[in-house]
Amino acid sequence: MPHSPVVIGVDSSTQSTKALFADAVTGRTLAVGRSPHRVTGSAGARESDPEQWWHALRDAVAAGLKESGAPASAVRGIAVAGQQHGLVVLGRDRRPLRPTLLWNDTRSAPQAAALAATLGGPEAWTARTGSVPVAAVTAAKWRWLRENEPSTAERCTAVRLPHDFLTERLTGVAVTDPGDASGTGWYSTATGTYDTEILQLLGIGPELLPNVARTGGATVGALTPEAAEALGLPATTVVAAGTGDNMSAAVGLGLGGAGLLDHPVLSLGTSGTVFAATRTRPTNPALNGFASADGNHLPLACTLNCTLAVDRIATLLGLDRDDAAPGGEAVLLPYLDGERTPDLPGASGLLTGLRHATTPQQLLGAAYEGAAVTVLRALDEVLSACGLDPASAAATSRPLRLVGGGAQGRTWVETVRRLSGRPLVLPTGTELVAVGAAALAASAATGADPVTLARDWGAGRGRELPPVERDMEAWDRISGVLDRAAPALFAGR
């Protein structure tokens, strides 16, 4: 009996690769293969060897294929969603010249600040690219490479983002999509093309960059014979352009032109991310004004310190991650790796308000609160970018979709609920980046709209939690520390 058609959505993240096998019609998850990544570096450096991503993709696909029980011949399409911003530099043999500078590598902070001061300043950058350069942005990492490893930059014949690198390894075609390209700092969300003046400023030729597909679900081609053999898949498997991880999560949630618009999402992972899909092009220097995978826009704010930082505090205190209580008078800003929002790349953690009566559980709760308030403060900016008044009933009544690993944790959910005062939705889909990539793969294979597919698959639906009274006392206390102490304490570090 013939098997239903299958698509594969690949989530190549900072820590691992996941390959989700889904029924192309119903979206039912058949299996998820996994393989870990290794990240190295200290004192602001965060690097990974791109070749391990390819090996991890092969291992994850093999594991998923075995677990799914589907024959390889049933696979119709594949798409890769990858961690944003990482700088992959390739030589003439299309092999990496050095490990990738990852999105959370903060060594490029001085280069980002220097770039932001050019071309008319932050507002001018936002008008052109949608975003002001920060340490995470690829353009700043390229400038760092040119200044610190000029011989590597000179030998570079191709520059890729992580998902571009894997898509090219699958197809032999150098292509990206508007969503991931909008996080480079050299792609204009105003024109939908690379900004030639910025490329000249950076000293990077357009021939080094991949072509930009119309959408993340656009068909790039089929697997090369080498890739088909390595993955154990048919050479007829269609490959989509793919996108960045945040853009793919939006697709997986059914957010976009054919689905929900202007509905906020909070992703609790290694980083804390808040975003919404909208038709309004964002021009707020406080945000990343990204493009979405489906041709719309994705205003987004990202913090560096979220679940990983809070878990580190739990380890230091010798507590289980859910053995926490509200922080009381204590305020703990867990900026253990610098911070991206607010833009404090040299920041370290800050603890204040400590009393004799403060318990370890309260200290851990304060870490949760500090991380949550940091990302929730950016929520108002995202809603404003969508054309909404953040304080209006139209905005506050819209449920906040809580996703990522932290959304599975009781304390994270309770903390966000208490500090936001908003209704929450906890989607049933737990691998939303991979689900979004699977929808992009299905779109490339069938021509259907990926957002419509994902919405019909239903991964974005889930348990609804009504609002509770907002804890304004904690909110004001933590916000006060952020507003008064943080700039003075962290400036110049």
Could you please report the per-residue DSSP string of 207-227? GGS-EE-SSTTSEEEE--HHH
Whole-angstrom Cα distance, residue 221 to residue 234? 13
The predicted-structure confidence for 8-47, as pLDDT tens digits, reads as follows: 999 999 999 999 999 999 999 999 999 999 999 988 999 9
Residue 320 designated active-site: no
Handedness of CA 122, 123, 126, 131 (dihedral sign): positive
Q: Is the pLDDT of residue 490 over 80?
A: no
Which among 227, 249, 244 has a CA at the least distance from the CA of 75?
227
pLDDT value at residue 2: 67
Whole-angstrom Cα distance, residue 266 to residue 415? 13
Question: Which residue has tokens 């202007």?
Answer: 262
Domain borders along the chain are 6-246
Instruction: Domain 6-246: give its CATH superfamily.
Output: ATPase, nucleotide binding domain (3.30.420.40)
Top pLDDT among 286 and 354 is at 354
User: What mean pLDDT comes out for the span 332-337?
Assistant: 92
3-state secondary structure of 237: coil
How far is CA 88 from each of CA 82, 108, 434, rounded to the nearest angstrom?
A: 12, 15, 22
Q: Is the pLDDT of residue 493 over 60?
A: no
Q: Is the pLDDT of residue 394 over 90?
A: no
Which among 6, 8, 9 has a CA at the least distance from the CA of 23?
6
pLDDT value at residue 488: 54
User: Residue 223, CB half-sphere, CA atoms under 13 Å: how many?
Assistant: 21
Whole-angstrom Cα distance, residue 383 to residue 264? 7
pLDDT value at residue 371: 97
Q: Catalytic residue among 245, 294, 380, 471, which?
A: 245
The predicted-structure confidence for 265-284, as pLDDT tens digits, reads as follows: 999 988 899 999 999 998 88
Greatest distance between any 2 Cα atoms in the chain: 70
Q: Is the pLDDT of residue 352 over 70?
A: yes
Helical spans, DSSP H, in 121-223:
122-129, 138-148, 150-155, 162-171, 178-181, 196-202
- Specify whether the CB–CB gap between 112 and 133 falls below 8 A: yes
With 0-12 CB in 10 A as exposed, 13-18 as middle and 19+ as buried, what is 229?
exposed
Q: Is the pLDDT of residue 91 over 90?
A: yes
The neighbour count for residue 46, using CB atoms within 10 Å, is: 20
User: What mean pLDDT comes out for the span 331-337?
Assistant: 93
3-state secondary structure of 246: helix
Q: Is the pLDDT of residue 489 over 60?
A: no
The predicted-structure confidence for 63-84, as pLDDT tens digits, reads as follows: 999 999 999 999 999 999 999 9
H or E segment and range at residue 229: helix 225-231
State the DSSP code for 343.
Answer: T
pLDDT value at residue 492: 43
Whole-angstrom Cα distance, residue 438 to residue 42? 34
Q: Is the pLDDT of residue 391 over 90?
A: no
Whole-angstrom Cα distance, residue 125 to residue 185? 9
Whole-angstrom Cα distance, residue 399 to residue 53? 35
Local confidence band at 486 (pLDDT 50, 70, 90 cut-offs): low
Q: Which of these ranges, 202-216, 218-232, 249-263, has the smallest mean pLDDT?
A: 249-263
Local confidence band at 427 (pLDDT 50, 70, 90 cut-offs): very high
Identify each DSSP E strand in 250-341 by its residue range: 265-268, 272-275, 288-291, 297-303, 331-333
Q: Is the pLDDT of residue 491 over 60?
A: no
Q: Which of these ranges, 31-45, 190-204, 453-467, 477-491, has the smallest mean pLDDT?
A: 477-491
The predicted-structure confidence for 152-167, as pLDDT tens digits, reads as follows: 999 999 999 999 999 9
- Specify whether the CB–CB gap between 252 and 458 falls below 8 A: no
pLDDT value at residue 337: 84
